[in-house]
Structure 1
Amino acid sequence: MPLSMTKIAYRSAGVDALRQWVESGAEAHMTTRYLPKRHAEMIGGSLYWIIEHAMVARSEILGFEQREDGRWTIRLAPRLILVHPRAKRAHQGWRYLEEEDAPPDLAPGDVAGDVLPIRLVRELGKLGLV
């Protein structure tokens, strides 16, 4: 199974802003300084977005390309898939995420209010309850 990664959506005000950016074109591009050593395993995996100390959504990883300035572009599918929020501490850069540690996708009906708010997930995570 493909390997995934986590990344903080540091410029997004929330899930709606992240969705607007990811779904604004044919592909979404995110840059990183270093190519992940396990990048070949990540194609077909997902980038799980962290907002307010919780993994809340994912985007499929399409590939990696080196830029002229030496940095790397991570090519993402133009679709944001919401997942069951899971508490996740902040970190710099990205981190690998194995499939068994990834939160499940939300079913279409779940987005209507059956899911805990992100801030509550974060607080429950601090208490070790989620």
Structure 2
Amino acid sequence: MALHVIKLCVGAVSIQDLVDWHDHQAFSRLALGLDPRPVCDTRMTPKRRSEILDGGSLYWVIKGQILVRQEIEDIVTLEEADGRTRCEIVLKHHHILTAPRRRAAFQGWRYLQVKDAPPDLKNLDGGDELPEPLRKELLDLGAW
């Protein structure tokens, strides 16, 4: 059964910031001859790798709310020159909007059970979605 990961999107104030960051990351990685898929760098490698790779997603917390997710394609542990390890969570470049859900700040990443994950709204590739400022205002007002 799938297991998800949740992480703060530090420095982003909107979903578009995250999308723009991943676009920039893809072009930069491609220019270096690397896999252009977006990656989330983290210090600790998830121990429950097989569960995550069985359909798990990375849920992004932006400004205190879970707003979007990306499917996880791989989890790679890399060793640095100084002997320390780090982890790259390899993501699909496809961003899927989720129902907004408040989430307190935390460090690093956390596991997120399927039953605790917010439902999807629709993907960012089209359709009539609410503008992000309006979504945030509705959430702040308690209307969502």
Deviation readout 1:56-115 (Å, 9 max, x if unpaired)? 0001111111223111111111111111101111111111111111111113656235x9
Q: CA deviation at 1:120?
A: 5.1
Once the two structures are aligned, what percentage of the paired residues are identical?
Answer: 37
With the length of structure 2 as denominator, give the TM-score of the two structures: 0.75
Matched, 1:37 2:37: no
- The root-mean-square deviation of aligned C-alpha atoms, in Å, is 2.4
Contact 1:53–1:122, Cα closer than 8 Å, also in 2 = no
Corresponding pairs, count = 126
Unpaired runs of 5+ residues, structure 1, are: none
SS at match of 1:22: helix
Moved >6 Å (runs of 4+) = none
Deviation readout 1:3-41 (Å, 9 max, x if unpaired)? 001100002231101012234534101111111111211
Q: Which structure has the larger Rg?
A: 2
Alignment of 1:53-92 (within 5 A): 53-69=64-80, 70-92=85-107
Distance 2:41 2:15 in 1: 20
Unpaired runs of 5+ residues, structure 2, are: 27-35
Q: Relative to structure 1, is the Cα distance of residues 119 and 93 closer, same or farther in structure 2, using a 3 angstrom cutoff?
A: farther
Residue identity matched to 2:12: S
Alignment of 1:1-130 (within 5 A): 1-24=1-24, 25=26, 26-43=36-53, 44-69=55-80, 70-107=85-122, 109=127, 111-112=129-130, 117-118=135-136, 121=139, 124=142
Distance 2:6 2:104 in 1: 11
